[in-house]
């Protein structure tokens, strides 16, 4: 991270104004009979970058804090998919950001938490995976202060 320091003792950490990518959904490639019975699962995370950042070389980054695993992929148009993200269903925190392919500027970071839900009404949200055989799904919740 970049810090700007004056010749005295004060430092100022700059904030970038580029909005972060928006995660728009989760897919579970081969769900077990019940997601609720599993502790660790692999998911695919889909997202979009803001308008105007669909330049060649732009990359989306995803970091799962609890498993301490990081992932990155190139952007195709305005969309991206991060495959095979290892996730603890009960304790997770996903950080998402992107790096602009033109000047390498980094966006702000957004935090998401993947939460287990049950029932057709809860699982109908666009940020949720498909329901498993027992009616459970995993959905993304955006956290404004971290998770």
Q: Give residue-wise pLDDT tens across range 6-21.
A: 444 556 555 555 898 9
Give the span between the Cα atoms of 36 and 78, in whole angstroms.
Answer: 32
* Radius of gyration from C-alpha coordinates of the chain: 17
Q: Compare 130 and 30 and report the one with higher pLDDT.
A: 130
Tell me the CB-side half-sphere exposure of residue 18, using CA atoms within 13 A. Answer: 19
When pLDDT is averaged across residues 71-97 and rounded to a whole number, the result is 94
Q: Is the pLDDT of residue 87 over 80?
A: yes
pTM: 0.82
Q: What is d(CA 138, CA 136) in angstroms, rounded to the nearest whole number? A: 7
Q: What is the pLDDT of residues 101-138, one digit of tens each?
A: 999 999 999 999 999 999 999 999 999 999 998 999 99
Running DSSP on this structure, what letter comes out for residue 38?
-
């Amino acid at each position: 991270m970049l810090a700007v320091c004056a010749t005295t003792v004060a430092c100022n950490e700059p904030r970038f104004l580029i909005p972060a990518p928006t995660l728009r959904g989760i897919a579970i490639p081969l769900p077990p009979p019940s997601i609720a019975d599993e502790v660790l699962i692999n998911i695919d995370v889909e997202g979009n970058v803001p308008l105007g950042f669909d330049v060649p070389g732009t990359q989306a980054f995803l970091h799962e804090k609890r498993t301490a695993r990081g992932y990155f992929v190139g952007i195709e148009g305005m969309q991206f998919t991060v495959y095979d993200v290892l996730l603890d269903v009960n304790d997770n925190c996903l950080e998402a950001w992107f790096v602009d392919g033109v000047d390498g500027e980094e966006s702000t970071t957004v935090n998401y938490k993947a939460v287990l839900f049950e029932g057709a009404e809860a699982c109908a949200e666009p940020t949720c995976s498909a329901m498993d055989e027992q009616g459970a799904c995993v959905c993304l919740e955006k956290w404004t202060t971290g998770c």
